[in-house]
Structure 1
């Protein structure tokens, strides 16, 4: 393992732990709620983050054979907070396993999935981390707004 891989793994795990905290701290009845002007609920965003990482890291780099159904990430509702938290935890375990198996020299290889950009694995992992961080911010904002409305 290398410094680059260790640092990326640390950031992904840190933010997945933050997502778990958001899911733990939002009132259970609010997980699937939205507010005017916000399309996706905390539950939908959590499912999307899990699906995205399992697809682009698990399948592409870890050969997990995860099969993504992106449409369901945005339409399936009613899953319990506990199940969402379990899914986030399983995603964290997958991240650790995949990153622990990466070699420094592989970071310079072309990302192995067909994507519309010509990215190395390293660059695409940075892209995926930005995606995670962006949606985590949405989750945090929505949780705080929903909590404020209940006060």
Structure 2
């Protein structure tokens, strides 16, 4: 395996790990809230957990699937934020799980040429690598927002790293 292929493999593996970590945290967070709380908005300028999950699904599909596979972009972004219910916690988790798995599959099969090729997404020019970085950081960003909102609602730790000593020092 040449160095470029090794880099690609390592990069994809780390992207997939980070997406799986966000999904793990979303499952923990959603387990702590009621069905009604999933669609509760903190105030009129913020989004519900349900809206954020729909938004993540739309964004990951646009950046992580449609753009990278050069298929039609069918995203309806406004619906991600205007929806006020109709999906349960389990349906939302299943929806995002399916999208994450499809994105991971896309990342794993994308050519090096496409990774380096610039394409326009949402009016911005990104390489395939740029799309992948966007998908991972955007998922992480909104996962953090959801975690914050759940902590505020429940006034308790979510225990994302229970059983891990986060004070362990780096080793050379």
TM-score of the superposed pair, with normalisation by structure 2: 0.75
Residues 4-62 of structure 1, C-alpha deviations (whole Å, 9 max, x = no match) = 12211221222123223322332222101122475111111111011110111121123
From 88, 94, 99, the counterpart of 1:91: 99
Which residue pairs with 1:39 in the alignment?
46
Which residue pairs with 2:131 in the alignment?
124
From 60, 63, 85, the counterpart of 1:53: 60
- Cα distance in 2, alignment partners of residues 24 and 66 from structure 1: 32
Q: CA-atom RMSD, angstroms?
A: 2.3
- Cα distance in 2, alignment partners of residues 26 and 66 from structure 1: 33
Which residue pairs with 1:82 in the alignment?
90
- Tell me the matched-pair count: 148
Greater RCO (CA < 8 Å, at least 6 residues apart): 1
Q: Please say if 1:9 is aligned against 2:22.
A: no
Instruction: Specify the structure having the higher radius of gyration (Cα).
Output: 2
From 138, 141, 148, the counterpart of 2:145: 138
TM-score of the superposed pair, with normalisation by structure 1: 0.84
Unaligned runs of at least 5 residues, structure 1: none
| Residues 58, 98 of structure 1: 8 Å contact kept | yes
- Cα distance in 1, alignment partners of residues 72 and 124 from structure 2: 22
Higher strand fraction (1 or 2): 2
Higher helix fraction (1 or 2): 1
- Cα distance in 1, alignment partners of residues 54 and 113 from structure 2: 32
